[in-house]
């Protein structure tokens, strides 16, 4: 029986079968399950790195050391890793290296929807794009051969819909690949200008050889149908095209950089109308247009979000979608929200109540920006909170800074908050940083990181002491508070904000989802005492809600885990513990 596998599991499997020995990543949706699955195989090394740049560098070292190596990250992670990546493109590999970029069209769980095929052109890398889990496994295997044959890192570009779809996969055997010999070769690996100039010339030659390979490889194939319409497509969009336009001729590209110019010209000659169906940016379209061919693309399809079979059918066939029932207009939206018992909730309730300016960061706590908590002013990228808070202070002065905080999670702080905190000390900032330490990387599904004391394989390891690190940076004002104790939190904030020096408050409590027996106490609303003021609904918890007919609040005993936050908010002592 073939196995049903997520695209991400299939990539891990492909790397395993290809003989990969070393893998590194920082978790990020939709890429996380690649390394968490790879780590389950025996006899391989895998790590959660502190961030994507480090993951890339570990990968580069392993490749120079001669091992086949897998590095995985979400699309915006490649921005973090771009510095080593661009120059590694010049040095080339020893053992094959494949970098998986998991893009997120539609921004299911991301702050932007950049199209990382652009990195192929920019960093001069071959880019391979599978369209289902079988291809994800097969192409990953093949990518290692290409990497070694052409002396280049290879980017495997996937999207959320592939990463998180399960399709059937035929498994293969692992090939044990010996490490390549390591020989000192400064002209190849030391990128001083003199050496780098020679390497750049090699890169240009490599891209020509790859362009020639693109014409011949099975990664690119034509599926002939009716020649009135010819569609060039790649990735999961290929599946939508086959569903929507079963009769069309299709040129399916598995290697999307460099493009097979001759093959595309040949295909264009054979069909009456040529269309490219590619999600996000017109990466293929612009190149085909530059060759002087007539092709339609973004005049038919959006640069925004994901595509669907019905969208393609509507634009390119006589198919018309029914109007539908129109019910979605009558129903409220359901944005994601913090879980009942989440330690972040009280923090944002307090920050909003104190009317502070909050420079935010990436994690579950970014949800603190939403109504009714409304506790965040800005969120840009991983680690940006502390630097942006310092910038705010330099623009608007110390007085303003006494009302500004940065909030950053524990995993995000280790990822890229530490250097900005050093900047605050070095350049004499005064603002207060809140480290929301829930002892895990929560949003992506509870991965370990350097401050949890466990590796990706759940082996105990040295645990980063966040307090000691902060003191070593030169910050003396460090406090640890329980974020579910609102009075303690408020006092700490008042003290630290009034300080004319940098300070850190660590709000420490494990993620509510990590607790094995989460229900601590049961609460109920005493209807006699409840005045219907609705203050308790301001914490935005699904465990407590307001009943319009009775003008009273009610606790949902199925969702409430008894974190004790709402009784602290109630001014009338109406929320009480259930007597056992």
Partner 1 sequence: MQNQNKNILIAGVGGQGTLLTSRIIARTAVQMGYDVKVSEVHGMAQRGGSVVSQVRYGKKVYSPIIRKGDADIILAFEKIEAARWLDYLKPGGTIIINNIRVDPLPVLSGKAKYPDDIADKISSFVEKAFVVDADKIAESCGSIRAANVVMVGIFASVFGIPEEEVKKAIQYLVPAGFLEINLAAFDEGKKIFIELNRVK
- The binding site for partner 1 (CB under 8 A) comprises 1-2, 4, 6, 29-30, 32-33, 108-109, 132, 161, 164-168, 236, 239-240, 242-244, 308-310, 313, 319, 321-322, 324-325, 327-328, 330-339, 364, 367, 370-372, 443-445, 534, 537-538, 540-542, 545-546, 558
Report the C-alpha gap between 201 and 143 in whole angstroms. 23
Q: What is the DSSP letter of 441?
A: B
Q: Which is nearer to partner 1, 90 or 307 (CB)?
A: 307
Side-chain half-sphere CA neighbours of 44 within 13 A: 31
Q: Which is nearer to partner 1, 358 or 443 (CB)?
A: 443
463, with CB counted inside 10 A (0-12, 13-18, 19+), is exposed
Which residues are paired to 432 by β-bridges? 405, 503
Report the C-alpha gap between 358 and 550 in whole angstroms. 36
Q: To the nearest whole angstrom, how small is the minimum distance from the Cβ of residue 108 to partner 1?
A: 6
Report the C-alpha gap between 501 and 401 in whole angstroms. 11
Q: Token match 């690190």: residue?
A: 469
Q: Find out whether 466 and 55 touch, Cβ atoms under 8 Å.
A: no
Q: Which is nearer to partner 1, 408 or 443 (CB)?
A: 443
Report the C-alpha gap between 128 and 139 in whole angstroms. 7
Cα–Cα distances in angstroms (integers) from residue 277 to residues 11, 153, 220, 249, 318, in the given order: 24, 27, 15, 13, 17
Which residues are paired to 299 by β-bridges? none
SS (H, E, C) 505-518: EEEECCCHHHCCCC
Side-chain half-sphere CA neighbours of 123 within 13 A: 26
Q: Find out whether 98 and 208 touch, Cβ atoms under 8 Å.
A: no
Q: To the nearest whole angstrom, how small is the minimum distance from the Cβ of residue 163 to partner 1?
A: 8
Report the C-alpha gap between 344 and 566 in whole angstroms. 14
Tell me how crowded residue 91 is: count the other CB atoms within 10 A of its CB. 25
Report the C-alpha gap between 409 and 458 in whole angstroms. 21
Q: In what order do the strands lie in the sheet with 248-253?
A: 221-223, 248-253, 226-234, 273-277
Q: Find out whether 497 and 549 touch, Cβ atoms under 8 Å.
A: no
408: enclosing H helix or E strand: strand 404-409
Tell me how crowded residue 402 is: count the other CB atoms within 10 A of its CB. 17
Counting every residue written for the chain, the total comes to 580
Helix axes 193-216, 261-270, angle to 10 degrees: 30
Q: Which sign, positive or negative, has the C-alpha torsion 454, 434, 436, 410?
A: negative
Q: Which is nearer to partner 1, 292 or 326 (CB)?
A: 326
Report the C-alpha gap between 100 and 74 in whole angstroms. 8
Report the C-alpha gap between 304 and 306 in whole angstroms. 7
Q: Which residues contact 431 (CB under 8 A, 6 or more apart)?
A: 389, 390, 392, 393, 401, 404, 405, 406, 424, 502
Q: Which residues contact 518 (CB under 8 A, 6 or more apart)?
A: 341, 512, 561
């Amino acid at each position: 029986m073939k196995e049903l596998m997520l695209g991400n599991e299939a990539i891990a499997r492909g790397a395993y079968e290809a003989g990969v020995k070393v893998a590194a990543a920082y978790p990020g949706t939709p890429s996380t399950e690649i390394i968490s699955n790879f780590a389950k195989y025996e006899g391989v090394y895998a790590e959660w790195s502190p961030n994507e740049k480090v993951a890339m560098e570990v990968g580069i070292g392993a490749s120079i050391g001669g091992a086949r190596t897998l590095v995985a990250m979400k699309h915006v992670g490649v921005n973090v890793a771009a510095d080593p990546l661009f120059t590694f493109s010049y040095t080339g590999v020893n053992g094959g290296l494949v970098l998986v970029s998991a893009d997120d069209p539609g921004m299911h769980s991301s702050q932007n929807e950049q199209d990382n095929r652009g990195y192929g052109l920019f960093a001069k890398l071959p880019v391979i794009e599978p369209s289902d889990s079988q291809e994800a496994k097969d192409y990953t295997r093949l990518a290692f051969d290409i990497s070694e044959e052409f002396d280049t890192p290879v980017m495997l570009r996937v999207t959320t819909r592939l990463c998180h779809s399960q399709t059937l996969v035929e498994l293969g055997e692992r090939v044990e690949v010996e490490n390549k010999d390591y020989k000192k070769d400064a002209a190849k690996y030391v990128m001083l200008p003199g050496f780098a100039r020679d390497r750049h010339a090699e890169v240009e030659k490599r891209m020509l050889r790859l362009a020639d390979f693109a014409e011949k490889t099975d990664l690119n194939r034509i599926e002939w149908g009716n020649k009135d319409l010819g569609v060039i497509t790649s990735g999961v969009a290929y599946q939508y095209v086959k569903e929507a336009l079963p009769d069309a001729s299709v040129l399916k590209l598995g290697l999307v950089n460099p493009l097979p110019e001759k093959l595309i010209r040949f295909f264009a000659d054979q069909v009456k109308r040529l269309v490219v169906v590619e999600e996000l940016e017109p990466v293929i379209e612009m190149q085909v247009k530059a060759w002087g061919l007539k092709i339609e693309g973004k005049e038919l399809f959006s640069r925004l979000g994901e595509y669907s079979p019905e969208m393609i059918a509507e634009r390119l066939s006589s198919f018309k979608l029914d109007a539908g029932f129109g019910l979605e207009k009558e129903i409220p939206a359901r944005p994601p929200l913090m879980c009942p018992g989440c330690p972040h909730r009280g923090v944002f309730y307090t920050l909003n109540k104190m009317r502070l300016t909050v420079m935010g960061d990436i994690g579950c706590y970014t949800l603190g920006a939403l109504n009714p908590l409304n506790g965040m002013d800005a969120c840009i990228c991983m680690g940006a909170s502390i630097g942006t808070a310092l910038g705010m202070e330099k623009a608007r002065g110390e007085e303003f800074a006494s009302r500004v905080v940065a909030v950053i999670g524990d995993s995000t702080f280790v990822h890229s908050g530490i250097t900005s905190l050093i900047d605050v000390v070095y350049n004499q900032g005064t603002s207060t940083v809140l480290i929301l330490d829930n002892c895990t990387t929560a949003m992506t599904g509870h991965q370990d990181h350097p401050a949890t004391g466990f590796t990706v394989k759940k082996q105990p390891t040295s645990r980063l002491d966040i307090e000691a690190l902060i003191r070593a940076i030169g910050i003396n004002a460090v406090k640890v508070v329980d974020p579910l104790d609102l009075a303690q939190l408020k006092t700490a904030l008042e003290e630290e904000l009034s300080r004319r020096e940098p300070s850190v408050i660590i709000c420490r409590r494990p993620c509510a989802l990590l607790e094995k027996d989460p229900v601590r106490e049961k609460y109920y609303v005493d209807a006699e005492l409840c005045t219907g003021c609705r203050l308790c609904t301001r914490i935005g918890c699904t465990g407590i809600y307001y009943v319009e007919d009775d003008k009273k609040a009610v606790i949902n005993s199925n969702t409430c885990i008894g974190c004790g936050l709402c009784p602290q908010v109630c001014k009338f002592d109406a929320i009480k513990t259930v007597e056992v």
